[in-house]
Amino acid sequence: MKANQISTGKIIDGKEVFALELQNSRGSYAKIYNYGGIISEFVVTNAQGEKQNILLGFDDFDGYLSEDYLSNYPYLGVVVGRYSNRIKDGRFSINGKEYQMTKNLHGGTTGFDRKVWDILPTVDPSLTLQYISPANEEGFPGTLTVQLTIKLTDEDELILDYKAITDEPTAINLTHHSYFNLETNGGNISEHFHRMPASHYLQQDEDYTVTGVVLPVEGTIHDFLGGKRIGQDMDPAEGYDQSYVLDKPYGELGLASETMAASSGLKLEVYTTEPIAHFYTAKYLDIPNGKGDKVFGPFSAFCVETQHHPNGINIPEFPTTVLLPGDTYMQTTIFKVSQ
C-alpha cells in the first residue's frame, strides 16, 4: 500500500488543505482530505470487474465549500465531534458543573468537520490526522487532542482508529459520517439488503433526541436481525434515522452491520468497538452536483455511524461518555468490502 499527499491549493484558517491518497495491492483506493477528515472516495472492484466508488462525494474539494452545499449541510463523509448526534438542549453536567454548548447537531456550529487537521508523520503505510480542540470550543470543557489514523489494507478494509486525551473532564463521542451506495449506478438504496445484529434500539423524542428508553426491535420496522431489503418496511417519507444497540460485548470489536447490492455484487461489513450503530438513510440529502454530475437526493445513500449512546452524557444508565485527564479515548471502526 502507498500513501500520496497532494495540495488542493486551498488555505483555510491559515492551514493548507491536502488530499491524501491510499492505495492497496488490489488497486483499491481511498481519498481523504485533512479538512474535516473527509473521506471522499473509497474505490473497489465490483463483481463485474469494474472500479466503483461506493462513497458519495464531490469531484473536487471546492464542492465541500460551496454555498449550495453548506446551506443544506449533510456532513458528507466527515469526522463528527466533539459529540456526535444530539445532546438534549445542548446542555450537560460533569462533576456537578453545568455546561451549555452550542445547540446544534454533531458537536456545534463549527465542529471537527470544519477544521483543518494537522497531518502527522507515520511509519506504517497509513495516515494520521490530529486536531487540538481548545478549551470551551463550542462550549465543551478542556483542551482535547484527537488523532485519527486511517489504513487501507490489502483485504479492502478501511480502518479508522481514534485516540483522544484531555486536560479536564469533558464529553466526547466521535463518529464518521460516510454516505454509502453499493449499486453500480447509484440511485435509491431501498433494494440494498441490510442486516444488523442489534436486538434493541433507542427511543427518540420528536426532535430525534435519545430519551434513555431502550426498546426491542422485535415486531417493529427496526428489526434487521435476519436481514431484509432496506425498503421493505421503511416509511417512504421518513426512512431510518435510528440508533441501534449492538449485540456484542461492550468495548470489543464486533459486527455492526452488513449491506449488499445485487447489481454490483458488493458487500460492506462494518465492524466497531463502539456499542451503538446509528443507521441513517439520508432523508435530508439534497446535492444536485455530486461526483460525476450525479444528483444525490433523499434515500440515495445510507450511513452506519458507530458511536456511544447519543445523549448518553445526560443518561447515567448508559455507558459513560466522559473522558478524564490521564485516560485515553479509543475507538476502532472498520469498513470492509468484499464480493
> Computed over its alpha carbons, how large is the radius of gyration of the chain?
19
Q: Is 177 one of the catalytic residues?
A: yes
Catalytic residue among 41, 137, 138, 177: 177
- Is 191 catalytic? The answer is no
State the catalytic residue, choosing from 183, 305, 308, 309: 305
Active-site amino acid positions: 177, 305
